[in-house]
Amino acid sequence: MKNKVMEFIDVITNELNKLSLEIYNNPELGYQEFKACRLHTDILRKYGFDVEENFSGVETGFKAVYKGKKEGLTIAYMAEYDALPGIGHGCGHNLLGTVSTGAGIVLKQIIDEIGGTVIVFGTPAEETSGAKVTYVENHEFDDVDIAMMAHPGSEYTKSGTSLALEPVQFEFFGKTAHAAAAPEKGINALDGAIQTFNSINALREHIRSDSRVHGVIIEGGKAANIVPDYAKVQYYVRSTTKTYNMELLEKVKNCARGAALATGTELKITKFEFNYDNMVTNQALSNVFNDTIYEVAGIVMNEPPENSGSIDAGQVSQVCPTIHPYFDVTNDKSIAGHTRELAACTLKDYAKKQMKNTIAALVLTAAKVIQDPKLYDALPISFTNLFAPYALFLFLYIFRAMTELRLTDGANGCYLLLLLLF
């Protein structure tokens, strides 16, 4: 099977390279990826997928499906194709989407034999308000057994975690006045924004080291001789867990509330983008991928970095077993993501070779899970271990209640068992 997979990758490599190049040469921002969406759906239709465009209410999203002749697991690959403002595909999404679409096409070639269904999701706008959030909210991943993608980077790293993200916008409303002739008649909205920054800077001393709070002033006045009556600030609040992130978000909001009170301004708080959940890697599935890419190309996956950003695949990881490893496209660890240098690397021969290796690993990982029921049965264990602490808490709570209420008869013992199970 490995030989069959590798041979077919060679067959479609030129088409995949062309796909990546065309998307690279025509960078489109989130929810504006009309050309990229069409390029992906065209090649998927060519290779026999049923394609739904404008998917789940997302105009530049799509869902491509091929159902095999035998029943089996549903495997999903997630394709991203949005660019960054000013620097094009500095995150390598031209290559990321190509890898996912390529993996779907290659897996289709063997799915009739091994059984199952292949899905390629086109997932726009990962850099801003990612469509994966919408898809999860609309239950599009509910019937997916495993979801996978691989992200271009400067080295091969295992699927790890990501930071939960809460975007928050503060708008301050004041009153204009002549800044020299009658400043006492004005209320300075920019002061509200500046005091917010000062308060959050003080807050940073007292937050967890694995959290991040960073923002910009979007608007702060029109002219130096006019007291600004409007200011707008946007912040990202990030933490390793959603629970702590919501606590931190409230503290950040209080900084803005205090600034508004101190400056006499009116405050409006809104969310300017989607929130992202933290990534929960399915370790069992990740281990299969790590072993497989070593078998394919002798590649040893590095441990995930301590610091990370936020990804909308975090939402997917909360509802089905998911992995999001990184593959090397630079052959140079000094090249960082979100740069023109990384974008240029996606077109080089080295990156094209790693694309082929990564596609093979993604396809053969799916094949292994489909063909080995024991392997698949192990995935939910890894996935549900996330809830183990809560189960323990529930057990201890019920045990204490039994002790205090002297619930010792058989009927109440059965009641306890039902509570633990359901």
Q: What is the CATH number of the domain that holds 254?
A: 3.30.70.360
3-state secondary structure of 212: strand
Dist. CA 267–CA 72, nearest whole Å = 54
Distance CA 280, CA 162 (A): 8
As a whole number, the mean pLDDT across the chain is: 90
Let me know: does 4 contact 113? Beta carbons within 8 Å. Answer: no
Contacts of 396 (CB under 8 A, 6+ apart): none
pTM of model > 0.85: no
Tokens of 356: 């082929």
Of the listed ranges 77-81, 192-196, 393-397, the least confidently predicted one is: 393-397
291 has a pLDDT exceeding 90:
yes
Q: Are strands 146-148 and 74-79 parallel, antiparallel or unpaired?
A: parallel
Pairing of strands 266-270, 164-173: antiparallel
Residue pLDDT, tens place only, 199-244:
999 999 999 999 999 999 999 999 999 999 999 999 999 999 889 9
Yes or no: say if 51 and 44 are a contact pair by the CB < 8 Å rule: yes
d(CA 63, CA 120): 6
pLDDT at 156 over 80: yes
| Same structural domain, 246 and 206 | yes
Tell me if 385 is assigned to some domain: no
Helix (H) or strand (E) holding 12: helix 2-25
Q: Supply the CATH number for residue 79's domain.
A: 3.40.630.10
Q: Which of 270, 289, 323 is the last residue of a domain?
A: 270
**What is the crossing angle of helices 283-297 and 2-25, to 10°?**
100
**Is 22's pLDDT higher than 90?**
yes
Q: Are residues 53 and 168 in the same domain?
A: no
Q: Provide CB contacts within 8 A for 268, sequence distance 6+.
A: 170, 171, 173
- Band of pLDDT at residue 381, cut at 50, 70 and 90: low
Determine the structural domain holding residue 409 and report its residue range: 392-421
Residues 19 and 119 grouped into a single domain: yes
Does 173 lie in the same domain as 256?
A: yes
Is the distance from CB of 308 to CB of 212 less than 8 angstroms?
no
Report yes or no on 300 lying in a domain: yes
Same domain, 404 and 362: no
| Sign, Cα dihedral of 329, 332, 337, 343 | negative
pLDDT recorded at residue 395 = 46
How much is the average pLDDT of 301-313? 86
Q: Let me know the angle formed at the C-alpha of 317 by 113 and 376, rounded to the nearest 5 degrees.
A: 35
Strands 266-270 and 322-323: unpaired
- Return the H-helix or E-strand segment holding 75: strand 74-79
Q: Are residues 26 and 157 in the same domain?
A: yes
Q: Measured between alpha carbons, how far is 338 from 92 in angstroms, rounded to an integer?
A: 8
Identify whether residues 173 and 157 lie together within a single domain.
no
**Domain total for the chain?**
3
Considering the domain architecture, whether residues 179 and 263 belong to the same structural domain is answered as yes
Q: Let me know how long the chain is.
A: 422
Strand ranges of the sheet holding 266-270, from the earlier edge strand across to the other edge: 212-219, 230-239, 164-173, 266-270
**Considering 242, 270, 298, which residue would you say is the last residue of a domain?**
270
Same domain, 132 and 195: no
CB atoms within 10 A of CB 287: 18
Domain membership flag for residue 376: no
How many whole angstroms separate alpha carbon 226 and alpha carbon 34?
Answer: 42
Residues 12 and 144 grouped into a single domain = yes
Residues 243-270: pLDDT tens digits? 999 999 999 999 999 999 999 999 999 9
Alpha-carbon distances, residue 334 vs 16, 119, 152, 153, 372 (angstroms):
27, 35, 14, 11, 40
* pLDDT range class, residue 361, cuts 50, 70, 90: very high
Q: Measured between alpha carbons, how far is 324 from 310 in angstroms, rounded to an integer? A: 12
CA atoms of 351 and 155, how far apart (whole Å) = 11
Q: Is residue 90 located within the same domain as residue 175?
A: no
> Can you give the pLDDT at residue 353?
96
Instruction: Of 156, 110, 149, give the one whose Cα is nearest residue 296.
Output: 156
Q: How far apart are CA 275 and CA 296, in angstroms?
A: 36
Using only the alpha carbons of the chain, give its radius of gyration.
25
C-alpha closest to that of 297 among 345, 232, 354, 242: 354
Residues 19 and 67 in one domain: yes
